[in-house]
Amino acid sequence: MTSNDPQRSTRHDLDPHLQRYAARAVGMTASEVRALFAVASRPEVVSLAGGMPNLAALPLDSLSAEVAQIIATEGLTALQYGSAHGVPKLREQICDVMALEGVTGHPDDIVITVGSQMALDLVTRIFCDPGDVVLAEGPSYVGALGTFASYEADVVHVAMDEHGLVPDALRAALAAVERAGKRAKFLYTIPNFQNPAGVTMAVDRRAEIVEICARHRVLVVEDNPYGLLGFDGQIYPALRSMDADNVVYLGSFSKTFASGLRVGWALAPHAVREKLVLAAESAALCAPTLNQMVVSRYLATHDWKSQIKSFQEMYRERRDAMLGALEQHMPPGCTWTRPDGGFFVWLTVPEGIDTKAMQPRAVTERVAYVPGTGFYADGFGSRQMRLSFCYPTPERIREGVRRLAAVLSEELQLVDTFGPAAPRSSHGPLTPAPDTE
Ligand SMILES: Cc1ncc(COP(=O)(O)O)c(C=O)c1O
């Protein structure tokens, strides 16, 4: 027997470091989204899986001139280390961006991060000990679930409906956590055009949710990368605008400007901001100075509001293509959400179909999606999938939905003939309301 024998190789042969990993590394596995990346990016496959922003509308010529100008005139600063707190001018400009959502933050209370993903990491790092509870909508953003797992926090999901997080479900979750003698450290929520569900928290729920959390002494972490991407130009008030003392707001330029620059931020209550700066320093020393200066220059010299408007229009056209195709092709029994912004539709399929088990068949039929189980920490979501409309053209979206509907119809026939696949898990708490069917 050799260790190359695939029949006989053990986990230790595959990774001789297995015994050495910290406990928090053991659960680190590729997310369903990442695992799909290779197949989904084959040209013949219509990918409704990835959530990459579509940058085609960016003014590349003027941006390259700006970057050249920054290096020519401020190169020694732009190419140097900066402070972990972030470039001061950019922090001031971020206050103007957040003012659109009613937030009145001070530039000192902002920490610039390498995307809001890093902000999520820092917040979890400073608040969560192993076994602490993080409350999160069910379903929730894969990248956040990965971060919570890496700090060995326990995620307790809170149900949503078509109006976002349900306040009564939050009360019940808090009561259950308290009964179990555990500590809920924060509520993680994506109130606008949620990833993956595509729903938005109703305005009249926001103050209630903020108030419940304050009463239970649970911090709110408001993750808002899509807030300015409402398809009718609507902008919802941030939770942070309702309670500056108990809400950490996470923002990002990834969806409204350029994801590859990796510039995001956290606006935190003053004492928390101190800890975030220290944590940022130990994680990365500072976010890239050049990238921060590029964003700052872009905000100062470009009509960024008009640019966001053209992103809104492009994504709205794609959303319409997806909703129209779903209406036209989906077999009876499927339901889906109807986002009014952002990138995602959340589809629920009839009983008996397991979206993860169906996935290889869908890829064979040249369409990719993300199975719902990846968006839950507790195995829910087997009858759900996330469909992204942000990247492919409207024609490709229509074709992708047509292919997906054909796969689902065949799968349903199999269920009719042979009975349902053995259930792996029940479906998640997000039950689309009748008007989303
Ligand atoms: C809800 C949510 N939060 C955070 C992020 C991370 O964004 P970034 O690190 O690019 O700012 C994403 C990216 O898709 C997201 O969907």
Contact criterion met (CB below 8 Å) for 199 and 160: yes
Tell me if 223 CB under 6 Å of ligand 1: yes
Could you list the residue range(s) of the whole structural domain that residue 122 is in? 61-301
In angstroms, rounded to a whole number, what is the distance separating the alpha carbons of residues 283 and 278? Answer: 9
Confidence at residue 421, expressed as pLDDT on a 0 to 100 scale: 66
CB contact set of 86 (below 8 Å; sequence gap of 6+): 110, 111, 112, 265, 286, 287, 292
Contact criterion met (CB below 8 Å) for 216 and 174: yes
Q: Which of 277, 301, 325 is the last residue of a domain?
A: 301
- Are both 219 and 77 inside the same structural domain? yes
- Are both 373 and 404 inside the same structural domain? yes
* pLDDT tens digit sequence for 147-160: 999 999 999 999 99
Instruction: Give residue 53 CA to ligand 1 midpoint distance, Å.
Output: 10
Residue 243 scores a pLDDT above 60: yes
Q: Which of 301, 323, 343 is the last residue of a domain?
A: 301
Tell me if 47 CB under 6 Å of ligand 1: no
* pLDDT tens digit sequence for 326-347: 999 999 999 999 999 999 999 9
- Are both 105 and 254 inside the same structural domain? yes
Tokens 């993300």, residue?
370
Name which residue leads in pLDDT, 83 or 418: 83
Residue from 188, 252, 253 whose mutation best tests the ligand 1 pocket (most atoms within 8 A of CB): 252
Instruction: Give residue 89 CA to ligand 1 midpoint distance, Å.
Output: 23
Instruction: Give residue 292 CA to ligand 1 midpoint distance, Å.
Output: 17
Residue from 33, 111, 255, 295 whose mutation best tests the ligand 1 pocket (most atoms within 8 A of CB): 255
Instruction: Give the CATH number for residue 377.
Output: 3.90.1150.10
Domain-located, residue 288: yes
* pLDDT tens digit sequence for 268-287: 999 999 999 999 999 999 99
- Are both 335 and 240 inside the same structural domain? no
Confidence at residue 32, expressed as pLDDT on a 0 to 100 scale: 62
Tell me if 190 CB under 6 Å of ligand 1: yes
- Are both 320 and 405 inside the same structural domain? yes
Domain-located, residue 14: no
- Are both 330 and 348 inside the same structural domain? yes
Residue 217 scores a pLDDT above 60: yes
Name which residue leads in pLDDT, 18 or 325: 325
In angstroms, rounded to a whole number, what is the distance separating the alpha carbons of residues 30 and 32? Answer: 7
- Are both 203 and 113 inside the same structural domain? yes
Name 250's bridge partners. 223, 266
Name which residue leads in pLDDT, 229 or 35: 229
Q: How many structural domains does the chain have?
A: 2
- Are both 48 and 171 inside the same structural domain? no
Domain-located, residue 365: yes
Bond prior to 288 in cis (omega within 30° of 0): no
- Are both 274 and 228 inside the same structural domain? yes
Instruction: Give residue 117 CA to ligand 1 midpoint distance, Å.
Output: 6
Of the candidates 292, 315, 229, 367, the one whose C-alpha atom is nearest the C-alpha of residue 93 is 292
Confidence at residue 108, expressed as pLDDT on a 0 to 100 scale: 97
Lateral strand order in the sheet of 154-161: 110-114, 263-267, 247-252, 219-223, 184-189, 133-138, 154-161, 164-165
Q: Which of 278, 301, 324 is the last residue of a domain?
A: 301
Domain-located, residue 5: no
* pLDDT tens digit sequence for 251-271: 999 999 999 999 999 999 999
Q: Which of 12-16, 71-75, 166-170 is predicted least confidently? A: 12-16
Confidence at residue 15, expressed as pLDDT on a 0 to 100 scale: 82
Domain-located, residue 198: yes
Share of the chain above pLDDT 90, in %: 83
Confidence at residue 417, expressed as pLDDT on a 0 to 100 scale: 87
DSSP 263-281: EEEEE--HHHHHHHHHHHH
Q: 3-class SS at 186?
A: strand
* pLDDT tens digit sequence for 2-36: 444 544 556 667 788 888 888 888 777 776 666 66
Domain-located, residue 81: yes
- Are both 197 and 229 inside the same structural domain? yes
Confidence at residue 12, expressed as pLDDT on a 0 to 100 scale: 66
Instruction: Give residue 116 CA to ligand 1 midpoint distance, Å.
Output: 6
Tell me if 121 CB under 6 Å of ligand 1: no
Report the nearest atom of ligand 1 relative to the CA of 190: 1
Confidence at residue 426, expressed as pLDDT on a 0 to 100 scale: 44
Assign 428 a pLDDT band (cuts: 50, 70, 90).
Answer: very low
Tokens 């206050």, residue?
95
- Are both 214 and 275 inside the same structural domain? yes
Report the nearest atom of ligand 1 relative to the CA of 141: 1
Residue type, 217: R
Tell me if 252 CB under 6 Å of ligand 1: yes
- Are both 212 and 226 inside the same structural domain? yes
Q: What is the pTM of this model?
A: 0.92
